[in-house]
Structure 1
Amino acid sequence: MIIEKDPEDSVRNEQSGATEDAAGTERNISGEEIPEASITDNQKDQPEKEKTESEQAEKEPAEGEHAAEAAAEEEPAEGEQAEEESATEEPAAETPAEDEQIAEPPAEEESATEEPAEGEPAAETPAEDEQIAEPPVEDEQVAEAPAEGEPAAENKIPVKRKRKTVQEVEGESKNLDDVELPPVDYSGFSKNDLVETLALLIDNRPPSEIRNDVDRIKVFFYKKLKQEAEERKNKFLEGGGTLEDYRSWVDPLEARVKHLLDKYRQKKTDFNKVQEAEKYENLKKKYEIIDKIKELVNREESINKTFNEFRLLQGEWHSVGVVPQNAVKHLWENYHHNVEIFYDYIKINKELRDLDLKRNLEAKVQLCEKAEELLLEPNPVNAFRVLQEYHNQWREIGPVPNEVKNEIWERFREATSQINKRHHEYFEKQKDAQRKNLEAKIALCEEVEEINLLEITNFREFDEKAEKVIALQKMWRTIGFAPKKQNNKVYQRFRDACDSFFDKKRSFYADNKEVQQNNLQLKIDLCLQAEALQDSTDWKATTDALIRLQKNWKEIGPVPRKQSEKVWKRFRKACDHFFDSKAEFFSELDSSYEDNLKAKLALIQELEEFEAGTDVQEAFERLKGIQRRWTEIGFVPFNRKDEIINKYRIALNKEFDRLKIGDEDKSILRFSSRLENLKANPKASRKIRNERDKFFTKIKQLENDIVLWENNIGFFTKSPNAETLISEVREKIDSAKKMIKILEEKVKMIDQSGFDDYNR
């Protein structure tokens, strides 16, 4: 960028008779000439009315609001998966879920604002949490551009007017419109409350003050609307309805909200027109003040009186509001030109002049210090915004002593350059991150599209691929935003691919209803066989028969979802009845309990006197032998059971800890001990089967985690600290595999103990 010169240069050149303005040119920091029309008449030089930056900014929210409204109706915000998002639910084991789609945040929220081009006014830039700055609202004024030769930041952003606090207003006015109100939490409002509040705000407050409230009300209203629609659909489906029969519900409040938003946008348009008219009126007033300053040099009165009148005109000048952006440069040049003529003409008292220059220097030194403090601001966007206000203040201050003019200006310019550099680097990093996110999202799209190309011919394979697609959808939600131009396109590509897969899955299940009915009949036959065996007292033969039935159950494919849970509970009830009866029978065999008690006490004493020696492996085998002998002994009297088990565990764990056995072996040995102890419980059969179910659930969860982590490794290779991330993920994968091995060993121990369970 080109840093413009100190505004005092043009002032002093006028005073010393320089030909810079007369020649119509000036030079930038590179020495290049910049043509500029000379100023001969105030009204003649007044530029034609053009659309100002604030007008352009006002147009952008209108489009953004329509986009936000549409997005709120179609897609909830990213990160609110459970409450607001149309998140894909995992399909049931045997039938497709009704809403196997993913949700994506609205486009307007996930596109980062690109850095403005050099010399152009910059819109507010996104904060560090990736939220995108919106165009300036009505109560934001665009900072005036510096005069020819004045310092300026590389980009200009909207500067928000400072609102008065409640305490400041109390002594001045009773008008509550002047009071800064705290933000309202609309999350607890009902839809009716949100609509009534929206209507009240639009009818009673200017649009410049309610933009954030309108946006938040709109977001919360459409979130609630979507949530209610989902609840109605789920309730309809749970009641036995089908997705094809469901008809969407139209809330009458939505039409009123759209009407109110149209009304709000019209009020904003009218408000902007009034604001623009005021700017041109202010421009007219400032030219009138310049004319009055011109007339001062023709007065024949005391210098003090003339100077006081000049000061009044200066105060009046600064009290007039902002003017159109395209008129700022010529206006300030004209103003400074005539001020210097006034100073030269009246030959103001040197001491008064020096005092004025000294005060200006002190003010500019303070601005330099404040600008340098901004270098410590962690948020480069905030630093850039504040810098714009400092540039406005610098322009207002006026000239400083000539001997320090260049020094003070270079100091301020250097701070400005560094802040602008940080601001530029911040956006470059965001763009780079978004490009990487786009690549990751394209890779996910390609994976789903490859799945869609497969010829899937059975239920099991469809369920496996459905889990894979759902895992990819979860991974999608962990990836940040892509560049604005490609974000919606890549999201639609991913969504279309997912929709295509789940449509094929639903179609396959619909075409195979007859197979599911046959499977249902086979499982009903197994239920009848299990019910015929449930009262048998031939424990060994019946146990083997039920185990065979359980294995047959696993081999049968899925059944219709409505009957799945019912037939499963029937089968399990018959099996549980037999195994509970068997456990109760064996728990009553206590004739040899006292002998068993003595034998187990002897083993406990042997553990307490155990000497490991130097051979750890040999000691470990001896401990395993003690465990086997313990399990072979049998039950003890019920009233001594807990006491004996606790003593045994304490003694055994003490020896395990002393031998420093690996965690894997230690876990398996302790579970073996616990498994044998459970046999003393009358309800041991059911407890052990429940334990087995938990192990299988944990194994499946760990396997899914491993798949997800292994997929993530491919994306981490593009990260600057890829090696560290990949190392951490591989450690997680190794740990999960070890845990799976331990759990599988425990399941095997349960199966070998005679308490095998079955799955649906």
Structure 2
Amino acid sequence: MLEEKNDNLPQADGLTTENNTDTIVDAINSTNAEENETSSINENQEIPLLNYDELSLDELNSELNNLIKNEKTTAIREHVENIKRSFLTKYNEFIDEKKEAFLEENPDAFSSDFQYDLPAKNLFDSLYHTYKEQKNAHFKSIQDQLKKNLAERNQIIDELKDLVENTDNFNAALKDIQQLRERWKTAGAIPKDNYNHVWNNFHFHLERFYDQLHLDREARDLDFKNNLEQKQKIVERATELLNETDIRKAFRELQLLHRIWKEEIGPVAKEHREEIWQNFSNVTKQLHEKREALQSKIHEQEESNLVKKNEIISEINQISSKEFTSHNDWQNAIKQIEVLRTAFFSTGRVPAEQNEETWTSFKTATRKFNVSKNNFYKDIKKEQQDNLQKKQDLVNQAKALSESSDFDSVTPAMKKIQEDWKHIGHVPRKFSDSLWKEFKQICNSYFDRLHAERNKEIEAEMQNFNNKKEYLEGLKDFQLTGDHKTDLDAIKIHIENWKNIGAVPQTRRHIEGKFNKILDALFDKLSLSKKEAELVKFHNKIEHLVENNDSRRLHNESVFVQRKIDEIQSEIFQLENNVQFISNAKADNPLVKEINKNIDRHKDELKLWKEKLMQLKNINKNDE
């Protein structure tokens, strides 16, 4: 059947390059024959043909359901097939993506292991099955009716032929002829293969009758005149259609006019037959030329759409060929691809011969992008699973430490766990919030306990500070008795009392300096040896460091003391070595005396530093 996708009209390209009028009319007759077979002209409906490629799977199902429920089966064939093509294309692309993702997540699986049930596909299959059942039932009903109608029309032809060949009174037979013509009009559609032959046969015998109708010329001429007037009106209407802006609509009406001309209007007088037909044929040719121009314009638009779609495919390929290394880059690329996909589906049709190739190129381009995207996120998923395990391990570590009261050793460990958490990347989204909430709750619980404990310590240390301030005020009234031992014991008691008061806040430790100045002044007033005073001061300093748990300064003090011991021992060795090189090194030699004096002074100093070192070692032993 020669038809156009949207209006079931003869294809302009399928007629003749010479615009032969007979060929055009033959094409119209052929179209009318087929439409006559499937439905009457009154069943022909104008149903908009949508761009189904723009619709989603659910929207396609909704449109298909609407057509099946509300439109005649004979009027929706092209719509249904276009919906089917668009649906299956989108569905197959969707399933391909799901299969690729399945095989990536299950590397040991086979393609045959993949199964995916999409409710939209089940609904489509059900709707399409309903349409086919309706179409088949309608087709069978039509075929049965066509055969009955054919038999009826052949019966009419036989009666007409018998009337023409066996009547002696043609004037009397006019009434019979009118009845046959009325029966012909209402006889209904017949198979398209018989359409032209049966019509030509009927009109051949009808014209024979009128040509032999010479006895009652007035009645015959009246009938001829009436037929001529009807055909002239058809020509007039066809001429008006030349001004119709909707060329498709005009050509469909032209088909109807040809059908009425052929099936419903009788012959005209011989002298008018050629002229009236030629007029109608000329208008038909002009409408065809306008339609052919429209088809050319449509073809140009389709060619333009083809260029646009190829450009879109090229852009998708360019994006697919880039290497993206971050989630944000991929998300931006995905958005770009979605924009291009939307543009592709909204661009409109391309020439039919290019449609399959264009769609395949588009599908290949998008699949290439999806494969690269899926590979990236497959690696991301593996990395995120590793990160998940690392963070779960940190949660377990934090949970194991969170109930400890050994804040001094646990707090640095907890802070390190928090720092390690920061340097671990993303985890799968479905675990992210719950895992973070659990980790945060554990850490908050621990540090809340720590802060509560520290607040208690700070309160106690502030009380110690206030007590030490008060003690300092009382120490101003302390007077030495003049007895060395009594005064030294009293000072030591003050040192012990001060130490027993306890530590003060970090920001208040200046009070220790004030106490040490008072001690220095008291030691200066005592007749203590320099060594004894130095050891007492050093002992007080070390006790203060121990009291404040200042292990770093204690360590530095030990290093310093050891270094001083090494330096003094080196000086003593050097001085003793120098004495050996002095000639006549007698004891009364002034130079020798001076060197020995220095050696003795250094040895006294060495004893002092060794006693300091011993105090440090005793402190370390007590700590152990």
TM range (shorter): 0.3 to 0.5
Q: Which has the higher contact order (CA 8 A, sep 6+)?
A: 1
TM-score normalised over the length of structure 1: 0.38
TM-score normalised over the length of structure 2: 0.46
Larger Rg, first or second structure (1 or 2)? 2
More helix by share: 2
